[in-house]
Amino acid sequence: MPEPTEPKDFIRTIVEQDLRSNKHGGRVHTRFPPEPNGYLHIGHAKAICIDFGVAADYGGLTNLRFDDTNPSKEDMEYVESMKRDIHWLGFDWGDREYYASDYFEHLYAYAVQLIKMGKAYVCDLSPNEMREYRGTASEPGRESPYRNRSVEENLDLFARMRAGEFDEGSRTLRAKIDMASPNFLMRDPVIYRILKVPHQRLGDQWCIYPMYDFTHCLSDSLEGITHSLCSLEFENNRELYDWYLETLDVFRSHQYEFSRLFLSYTTVRKRRLLPLIQAGIASGWDDPRMPTLAGLRRRGYTPESIRAFCDAIGVSKANSLIDVAMLEHFVRQDLDNRAPRVMGVLRPLKVIIDNYPEGQVEQMTAYHHPSYPERGTRQVPFSRELWIEREDFMENPPSKFFRLGPGREVRLRYAYFVTCVGVDKDANGEVTALHCTYDPATRGGDAPDGRKVRGTIHWVSAESAVPAEVRLYDRLFKVENPDEGDPLENVNLESRTVLEGCYVEPSLADAPAGSSYQFERQGYFCVDPDSTPGRPVFNQTVGLRDTWAKIAGQG
RNA sequence: UGGGGUGUCGCCAAGUGGAUCAAGGCACGGGACUUUGACUCCCGCAUUCGGAGGUUCGAAUCCUCCCACCCCAGCCA
């Protein structure tokens, strides 16, 4: 009878309460408010999933709003990349694309209103003086000597600030709240500062810009945002958020905070990632090892997998460090279901089938996806000379090793059983080629006599193999929490391995950039834009779980 | 140091009208299946809920005190 209710997070619980009490007339309206000062990353993905997800769950809307109040740090270039990334992730804001700068005139009027109410004043303290006046955690701050200017004088001074009469940094407009508040943000916070920098959208229309706390709550209010969701570090700001809305007596939006996403072995901090790009360790913000959405996309992560991940980690107020293995699990899960299977040899070893007719080529039928036969098949050419994976052969294999070794028989996936009958070596004793014989009766991979074989290995016909480059990746940092310590010291310099002499099956010759495949027995790979016709370049998204590696690792 | 927060299995995270409710996922271990040592499928995995007291027949859930960690003193967001 009582249906097992899906556990909800605390935010959805609040939204449901508000819905039940008809707090906003049944309306749920959220917003995603990035500052256009960089690229969106996995941490933003969590916020996006929450902002859009909560609204969608209750039939509400989500606005995209660029929080562009600091032109010295922002650029329109980021606006475009952010829009593309959000769409790629799978969310849409309809025609509700807003900018805090849309509200500058309105915000200015609110500031004038505060002045008229005696709740704001122009302050001439320098940045250093202001810091001194602010006090400390144990001592209250002191009131600015300019705190009690008349409304008329404040109005005049503020108008002249806007007119550009004063130097940058010489004056600010401040809210008159409480210099003794235990919350620093309430000790007469700055509302407007002078910044003689042209705005990326408005040009030189303004030389004073509103601060975040003032802008954000009023933008929310103006847009009718019911639930303003943000991360934990803004908990202290909520008191100010509420003060502005209450004092100006405008629509009351409410702010709720959830914990940011932290991933092990990962940092999303620009100050820590940029040095890696500058040092040439990473190729750019879309390097496949980057935690940016652009990087994850190039790496082969799917939007679905990122959304499933965000869904799984939940929403709470507890600081947490999530194991990257969790993220990897969700790409594997998604790609396992959708990626077509192909064969590719990363570290090739030549195999010659001694008893196979020279010059003969057979087409072997292989499933695009064995779990879904309805997805069809493809033909894979087979011939006398093949490439197999070097690590699928051992000259002195332990008993647990199911692959090829002298005298051992294995199945070539979708082809024949072969037995190793000889090993060619060079002067250094390095294995250069294997000689095998095949059993013609096992075509397709089944032995009519019921004979079993422990190992099945993948291969590519040498005569039609397509040369390819494969880039293998490992975590970018060697330490679990790269937010601490020297970023350049903690980087994993072996996080990228470029393999140039790989061979893949012919069907991959012109695979389109961005498409994902499972190289059987190896992992998921995504075609990189660096590919050229006839020579694809693959990025390893994530490897398959490798039980053998664990067994071998134990000795 | 003042204020604001958080502490449930190795990592996330449900569970707060008190009484077989300590969900689920990841990771890990074992087994089955297998033309991917993949996938899938079984099984195992906190007598215990930051700690100590207290109230009670009974507390992760209520009370008291304590401890740890995170955030705040940008004219950043």
What's the CATH number where A94 sits? Answer: 3.40.50.620
- Say which nucleotide is closest to residue A216, CA to C1' distance: B77
Co-location of A228 and A141 in the same domain: yes
Q: Residue written as tokens 């990632």?
A: A273
Co-location of A491 and A502 in the same domain: yes
Of A410, A436, A458, which residue is a domain's last?
A458
Range of the domain at A282: 270-341+468-551
Confirm whether any atom of chain B, the nucleic acid strand, is less than 7 Å from CB of A352.
no
User: Smallest Cα–Cα separation from A188: which of A234, A236, A147?
Assistant: A147
Q: CB–CB of A491/A276 below 8 Å?
A: yes
Residue type, position A7, single letter: P
B strand bases under 7 Å from protein CB: 1-8, 10-15, 23-29, 35-40, 69-77
Q: CB–CB of A76/A179 below 8 Å?
A: no
The per-residue pLDDT for range A234-292, each reduced to its tens digit, is: 999 999 999 999 999 999 999 999 999 999 999 999 999 999 999 999 999 999 999 99
In whole angstroms, give the CA distance from residue A209 to residue A191. Answer: 8
Confirm whether any atom of chain B, the nucleic acid strand, is less than 7 Å from CB of A332.
yes
Co-location of A148 and A173 in the same domain: yes
DSSP letter for A186, please.
Answer: G
Output the distance from A139 CA to B1 C1' rounded to whole Å. Answer: 9
ipTM value, please give it.
Answer: 0.96
The per-residue pLDDT for range A403-413, each reduced to its tens digit, is: 999 999 999 99
Residue A144 CB coordination number (10 Å): 22
Co-location of A25 and A153 in the same domain: yes
Output the distance from A547 CA to B29 C1' rounded to whole Å. Answer: 13
DSSP letter for A356, please.
Answer: S
Co-location of A356 and A337 in the same domain: no
In whole angstroms, give the CA distance from residue A63 to residue A32. Answer: 6
pTM of the prediction? 0.97
Co-location of A34 and A144 in the same domain: yes
User: Smallest Cα–Cα separation from A19: which of A53, A60, A52?
Assistant: A60
Q: Is A35 one of the annotated active-site residues of the chain? A: yes
DSSP of A442-464, one letter per residue? GGGG--TT----S-EE-EEETTT
Question: Predicted confidence band at A3 (pLDDT cuts at 50, 70, 90)?
Answer: very low
Q: CB–CB of A190/A176 below 8 Å?
A: no
- How buried is A410 (Cβ within 10 angstroms: 0-12 exposed, 13-18 middle, 19+ buried)? buried
Q: Which residues in chain A, range 248-287, keep a C-beta under 7 Å from any nucleic strand B atom? A: 259, 264
Number of domains present in the structure of chain A: 3
Q: Is residue A226 part of a domain?
A: yes
Co-location of A36 and A155 in the same domain: yes
The per-residue pLDDT for range A289-339, each reduced to its tens digit, is: 999 999 999 999 999 999 999 999 999 999 999 999 999 999 999 999 999
CATH number at residue A308: 2.40.240.10
Contacts of A490 (CB under 8 A, 6+ apart): A477, A478, A479, A482
Co-location of A118 and A174 in the same domain: yes
Q: Is residue A314 part of a domain?
A: yes
Question: Predicted confidence band at A1 (pLDDT cuts at 50, 70, 90)?
Answer: very low
Q: Is A260 one of the annotated active-site residues of the chain? A: yes
Q: Is residue A4 part of a domain?
A: no
Confirm whether any atom of chain B, the nucleic acid strand, is less than 7 Å from CB of A329.
yes
Co-location of A143 and A190 in the same domain: yes
In whole angstroms, give the CA distance from residue A123 to residue A145. Answer: 8
Q: What is the pLDDT of residue A6?
A: 72
Q: CB–CB of A363/A381 below 8 Å?
A: yes
In whole angstroms, give the CA distance from residue A492 to residue A331. Answer: 22
Of A438, A458, A478, which residue is a domain's last?
A458
Output the distance from A120 CA to B61 C1' rounded to whole Å. Answer: 46
Confirm whether any atom of chain B, the nucleic acid strand, is less than 7 Å from CB of A402.
yes
Q: Is residue A430 part of a domain?
A: yes
Co-location of A75 and A100 in the same domain: yes
pLDDT of residue A463 exceeding 80, the answer is yes
